[in-house]
Amino acid sequence: MKEFAVFWGCTIQTRFPFIEKSTRIVLDSFKLPYRDIDGFTCCPEKSLVNNIDHGAFVLTAARNVALVDEKNYDLVSPCTGCVSNLATVQSELKVNSREKDEVNSLLKEVGREFKGTARLQHLIPFFHDVVGIHTIKRHMKKDFSGMRIALHYGCHMIRPSHALRNDDPLNPRKFDNLIRAMGAESLQYITKMMCCGQGLDRIDEHDMALHFARIKLKELKAMGADAIVLCCPSCFLQFDNNQFLMEKEGEKFGIPVIYYTELLGLSMGFTPDELGMSSHRIDVAPFIKKWEKLSAGKAGNPFEEGLNEPGALG
């Protein structure tokens, strides 16, 4: 496998270090050739920077990609927004040679050059396409059979589809495939592809942000979902922190919010404490208690035979 740099972005390391912790634990356990490189900045965030100064947005993203280009690495990020923004700029510069030349004339002043050769992937398509379901199953010690999981893809894992090209933007399947491979039921529900609404908090529309979260959480509570599993730190902020704020005001949802690498880490035998799950605002104990009860008496790897999915590691 080609070496890849992990682009952590701003939110994970400043607000959710436990997401970084679980991601590193999983990457290390799979012995994947990831690297930390110096010099990354904010991706930058699209809804604010791009709307104020498109040139600054493009230049900043191009510089981040250039850092990976010069080392001949690919890039993988546990933040959907970061990958979406970087891929948007890389796609734009690949088809606009004049803009690319202008960007590189500026980057030359700091000794950089954007080439756009790096493959940019989010963690979910990376695990699905590169690591492979067969390999994931071989690392599992306990499955999630009997657990009812609600997936939240979020807006930026699959959009803009012309730049990312990693799943069907209208009917994505890869995240569902990963969850089902762990034995859980991936719930199909009306608001599955609905935006989480967290971006509304950035423009001082907190009540509307809560409204978006409330719509989905009410549906999941009515369906008896054991947890919502996602792959974006902004979405995590919305459903964990804002759900906590609503519960303080008397609204009771009780939907644990779990990041994908936390769920994968649990299946590999790591404890909630090792994965940092005690730092969540919404208590994950009900999810863990039900899962442990269902998995009691199971031992060893239930997936030794596995499958031969394309892209699986040997």
Distance of alpha carbon 243 from alpha carbon 277, whole angstroms: 16
Residue 130 within any structural domain of the chain = no
Same domain, yes or no: 159 and 279: yes
Same domain, yes or no: 24 and 106: yes
Same domain, yes or no: 269 and 235: yes
Q: Which among 62, 93, 123 is the end of a domain?
A: 123
Distance of alpha carbon 235 from alpha carbon 197, whole angstroms: 8
Distance of alpha carbon 245 from alpha carbon 49, whole angstroms: 28
Tokens of 282: 């919404």
Residue 247 within any structural domain of the chain = yes
pLDDT < 50: residue spans in the chain:
300-314
Contact between residue 237 and residue 15 where contact means Cβ atoms under 8 Å apart: yes
Same domain, yes or no: 95 and 209: no
pLDDT given at position 48? 81
H-run or E-run covering 181 = helix 174-181
CA angle 158, 263, 312 (to 5 degrees): 65
Same domain, yes or no: 147 and 226: yes
Q: Which among 68, 97, 123 is the end of a domain?
A: 123
Tokens of 85: 């923004």
Residue 307 within any structural domain of the chain = no
Residue 305 within any structural domain of the chain = no
Per-residue pLDDT tens digits for 272-300: 999 999 999 999 999 999 999 998 856 54
Distance of alpha carbon 136 from alpha carbon 41, whole angstroms: 31
Distance of alpha carbon 69 from alpha carbon 117, whole angstroms: 6
Could you check whether the bond before residue 160 is cis, i.e. omega within 30 degrees of 0?
yes
Same domain, yes or no: 104 and 237: no
Query: Which CATH number characterizes residue 232's domain?
Result: 3.40.50.11810
- If phi > 0 it is left, if psi is from -120 to 50 it is alpha, else beta; for residue 77 that is beta
Same domain, yes or no: 107 and 147: no
Same domain, yes or no: 119 and 177: no
Same domain, yes or no: 10 and 107: yes
What secondary structure, in 3-state letters, does 112-123 show?
CCCCCCCCEEEH
Select from 174, 284, 152 the least CA-distant residue to 219: 152
Residue 312 within any structural domain of the chain = no
Tokens of 15: 């607000």
Whole-prediction pTM: 0.92
Q: Which among 74, 90, 123 is the end of a domain?
A: 123
Residue 119 within any structural domain of the chain = yes
Q: Cβ–Cβ contacts within 10 Å for residue 202, how many?
A: 13
**Which range marks the domain in which residue 151 is found?**
141-295
Contact between residue 62 and residue 103 where contact means Cβ atoms under 8 Å apart: yes
Same domain, yes or no: 116 and 244: no
Same domain, yes or no: 181 and 93: no
pLDDT given at position 97? 97
pLDDT given at position 23? 98
- Number of folded domains in the chain? 2
Query: Which CATH number characterizes residue 103's domain?
Result: 1.20.1050.140
Q: Cβ–Cβ contacts within 10 Å for residue 238, how many?
A: 28
Residue 129 within any structural domain of the chain = no
Distance of alpha carbon 262 from alpha carbon 274, whole angstroms: 10
Residue 131 within any structural domain of the chain = no
Same domain, yes or no: 92 and 162: no
pLDDT given at position 45? 87
Distance of alpha carbon 300 from alpha carbon 310, whole angstroms: 25
